[in-house]
Amino acid sequence: MTISLKAGTKIVVASHNQGKVREINALIEPHGLSAISAGDLGLPEPVEDGETFAANALIKARAAAKASGMLSLSDDSGLAVDALGGDPGIYSARWAGENKDFGLAMRNVEEALQAKNTTNRSAHFVCALCLCTPDGEHEIHEGRVDGQMIWPPRGENGFGYDPAFLPDGYDITFGEMDPDAKHKISHRARAFAMLMDRHFG
């Protein structure tokens, strides 16, 4: 059975991260969809103990769909730095500490790179997007964007590691990009394109 996603559907975004919720809203609104966040509904955050982005996306989407009785959409995304063996990866938020200080997280990545004494600064963002029904039926789409880590960070837009990430083919960071420009090329946008092509293409 295929999940039905059509204009007018209201979905739960399985996240308490307002920056992420804003980006997802901007991506779904053109398709006539509307969203409410798990945070706004007071839903608890599940333990994300998966070993991949896709596994964690499914954990979050399944929990939000079951608790709300609504179709839910989650994304698990993060930064993978090649010279660090793919870290911070699925632990991208943890590198920001308990206070979710991504200034600290970016500094931690830079210090780890300097400790490696490497000139390899290639990195990529990954986004695993999961759409899930209250009975557990789900689909997952993955997007990726490649680039380089830069230091010091530049720009006030976006969130997370955006100011320290220079996407391939651009001379400005995600943190310096106009949000609409970022939405067109980001890992999240690429995962969404797959999802929307499936349901609205």
Q: Is the residue at 145 inside a domain? A: yes
Kindly report which listed range (17-21, 132-136, 159-163, 189-193) carries the lowest average pLDDT score: 17-21
pLDDT given for residue 197 in this prediction: 92
Span 61-82, pLDDT tens digits: 999 999 999 999 999 999 999 9
pLDDT given for residue 23 in this prediction: 81
Known catalytic residue at 171: no
Alpha carbons 190 and 182: distance in angstroms, whole number = 11
pLDDT given for residue 187 in this prediction: 94
- Which of the following is catalytic: 75, 76, 87, 162? 76
Span 52-63, pLDDT tens digits: 999 999 999 999
What value, to the nearest 5°, has the Cα angle with vertex 112 and ends 110 and 113? 65
Q: Is the residue at 5 inside a domain? A: no
The whole-chain average pLDDT of the chain stands at 94
Contacts of 154 (CB under 8 A, 6+ apart): 163, 172, 173, 175, 176
pLDDT beyond 60 at 161: yes
Strands (DSSP E) found in the chain:
10-13, 34-37, 72-81, 122-132, 138-149, 165-167
Enclosing domain of residue 77: 10-200
Q: At what angle do helices 187-200 and 18-28 cross, to 10 degrees?
A: 40
pLDDT given for residue 20 in this prediction: 79
Looking from the CA of 19 toward its CB, the CA atoms found within 13 Å total: 13
Band of pLDDT at residue 194, cut at 50, 70 and 90: very high
pLDDT given for residue 1 in this prediction: 54
Region 146-170: what's the mean pLDDT? Answer: 96
pLDDT given for residue 128 in this prediction: 97
pLDDT given for residue 149 in this prediction: 98
Region 168-186: what's the mean pLDDT? Answer: 94
pTM confidence score: 0.89
Strands 122-132 and 72-81: antiparallel
pLDDT given for residue 177 in this prediction: 97
Band of pLDDT at residue 201, cut at 50, 70 and 90: confident
Structure tokens at 91: 């632990």
| DSSP letter, residue 52 | S
Q: Is the residue at 37 inside a domain? A: yes
Q: Is the residue at 2 inside a domain? A: no
CATH number at residue 134: 3.90.950.10
Alpha carbons 179 and 103: distance in angstroms, whole number = 20
Percent of the chain with pLDDT over 70: 100
- Number of domains composing the chain: 1
